[in-house]
Homo-oligomer: A and B are copies of this chain.
Amino acid sequence: MAAPTSRLLPRALRASQKCSFRPQNTYLLQCLDDASDQGEPGHDVKYTTDLMPHLKRDSRFGELTKEHIDFFKQTLVDDNAIIDGVTKDASNDLEPFNRDWMKKFRGRTKVVLKPKNVDEVSKILKYCNDNMLAVVPQGGNSGLVGGSVPVFDEVVINLTRMNKIRSFDEVSGILVVDAGVIMENADNFLKEHGHVYPLDLGAKGSAQVGGNVAANAGGLRFLRYGSLHGNVLGIEAVLPDGTIMDDLSKLRKNNTGYDLKQLFIGAEGTIGIITGVSIVCPQQSKAVNVAYFGLESYEKVQQAFKEAKRQLGEVLSAFELMDAESQKFVHKKTEKKRPLEGDYPFYCLIETSGSNGEHDNEKLEKFLEHVMGEEIVADGVVAQDDTQIADLWAWREGITEAIGHVGGTYKYDLSIPLKDLYQLVEDTRARLESKGLIGDDKPARGVVGFGHMGDGNIHLNIPVPKYVKEVEEALEPWVYEWIQKKNGSISAEHGLGVAKKNFIQYSRNETMVKLMKQIKQLYDPKGIMMPYKYV
């Protein structure tokens, strides 16, 4: 391959071990010993009901008794299938299932059930429904909206022990797994067979396939492989009354009736528990390239994105946006040499993944030549090896952790039509500045914007040493109203959970909310699934 001919010369990036900012399998336990990076800064995790005092336990739900526990023990005969905090003290054992990894949400469950097959799920869920016991299904507990932990004493049905890969067809790429398979395990298995899981996200080391589907997770491969609504081919789920819905098709196409499985994608466990998933997986790309560049305006970012789509077409696999402030936070935290020498208001990270490295390099170089020549991009670097790829990605993936070191963060995960995507960050900054709330000695330490430009999905983060009412009142409901005016979404990929339950009307009209409540009523007439959450 010829050396790059553009002004954009690859620079040696400081080699370092691959950064990992992702919650791994062991992450949850680490969090329990370290209360500094999320949640109410400087404190142990408060109960969700302290954070949200308007939430009241619904008295229709029964309280757990020894009799209930006896039924669960008869039904789940394996050792370790039950953590019983009813007939004995099991607070420590229950704690990891009561709180989320961000340490923002904390419930008071007294029992965790870990069924190992769909029949067990069916039996215990039917029993809960018959006995009016509220239920929270739980996967890897890596959600961001408090969806996977109880609020009060809901029964936690944890899918961790349903962790079998059921089948894989190398010709069609169709994988069928238990819902509790950890996505990184699925991805590793697939890589041994020349394929990849069609989804990638920070929490891959703990997030489970069923949870991905229940939450309709987006993540880093969305731009290339699209939504789970397109990739999930079948679902096995248990309805609240114990009905097993076996819709675990291994077919790409099946036009025989309503596609009911779609309702379960993004339902966050409110109408049933997903126990199995059939999903089509793409071939693994042989070649991956990453470039990082600086741009002078959001106008130029949009031009660069349009050109990237046009010129990189089928090999473009990520187009991520990071603003200047986000990169300052990462720099301050890591003290690493910055990829570019100059300062720019915007930075983008582009990734290509394809079946032929030489071709992909050529396309990327041609694209870079064009965007540099046209002065769309001001400066840039291209990674020369896997270490440099990891280093460049760290400037994107490290933002959340770097910001977290301030103390707490007001986080918003938003979809906005592309042309207005960054305007929100500017408007938020102006608003907080006009109120005198931003500065090194002020309640807010900055306003940061970054995200999946390719998907029209931005993360707006406002780091604060501690959560204060002034900042919160300046932000909410103002941010949601702003989103509503632009016909955006107040939750692009994180879901509603308990955190955003009360804000759905900013993204969905009254009719839609009413129609959603009909569906909830249809599948869960007693309302035992995830009360206090979702619509």
Contacts and interface: CB of A to CB of B under 8 A. Distances in A.
Nearest to A243: B511
A487 interface: yes
Closest 3 CB pairs of A and B: A230-B230, A313-B355, A262-B262
Interface in A201-243: 215-216, 218, 222, 226-227, 229-231, 243
A257 B493 contact: no
List the number of copies, as a whole number: 2
Contacts of A286: 313
Interface in A15-58: none
Contacts of A494: 255
Nearest to A271: B258
Interface stretch (A388-396, A461-469, A502-510): A502-510
A144 to B, nearest CB: 11
Interface stretch (A245-253, A374-382, A433-441): A245-253
Contacts of A415: 251-254
A489 B258 contact: no
A417 interface: yes
A467 B509 CA distance: 52
Contact of A263 (B216, B255, B258): B258
A256 B283 CA distance: 31
A267 interface: yes
Contacts of A267: 258
Contact of A255 (B216, B254, B310): B216
Instruction: Output the residue of A509, A512, A535 with the most chain B CB within 10 A.
Output: A512
B258 A507 contact: no
Interface in A262-307: 262-263, 265-267, 271, 283, 285-286, 302, 305-306
A457 interface: yes
A1 interface: no
Nearest to A353: B314
Instruction: Output the residue of A310, A313, A456, A508 with the most chain B CB within 10 A.
Output: A313
Contacts of A474: none
A302 B171 contact: yes
Contacts of A356: 313, 359, 362-363
Contacts of A507: 254, 256
A91 interface: no
Nearest to A226: B230
A272 to B, nearest CB: 11
Contacts of A302: 171
B255 A513 contact: no
A509 B257 CA distance: 11
Contacts of A457: 252-253
A105 interface: no
A521 to B, nearest CB: 9
Nearest to A497: B255
Interface of A: 169-173, 194, 215-216, 218, 222, 226-227, 229-231, 243-247, 249-260, 262-263, 265-267, 271, 283, 285-286, 302, 305-306, 309-315, 353-356, 359, 362-363, 415-419, 455-457, 487-496, 500, 504, 507-509, 511-513, 515-516, 518-520, 522, 534-535
A96 to B, nearest CB: 25
B258 A535 contact: yes
A172 B260 CA distance: 29
B245 A512 contact: yes
Contact of A306 (B170, B259, B312, B512): B170
Contacts of A218: 253, 255
Contact of A515 (B245, B256, B492, B518): B245
Contacts of A171: 302, 305-306, 418-419
Nearest to A354: B314
Nearest to A309: B283
Contacts of A229: 227, 229-230, 259, 262
Instruction: Output the residue of A172, A215, A487 with the most chain B CB within 10 A.
Output: A172
A246 B522 contact: no
B511 A245 contact: yes
A175 to B, nearest CB: 13
A504 B257 contact: yes
A305 B172 CA distance: 9
11 contacts: A172-B418, A218-B255, A229-B259, A253-B493, A255-B266, A260-B263, A260-B512, A262-B265, A310-B355, A313-B354, A314-B355
Contacts of A310: 194, 283, 355
B266 A263 contact: no
Contacts of A313: 283, 285-286, 354-356
A172 B310 CA distance: 11
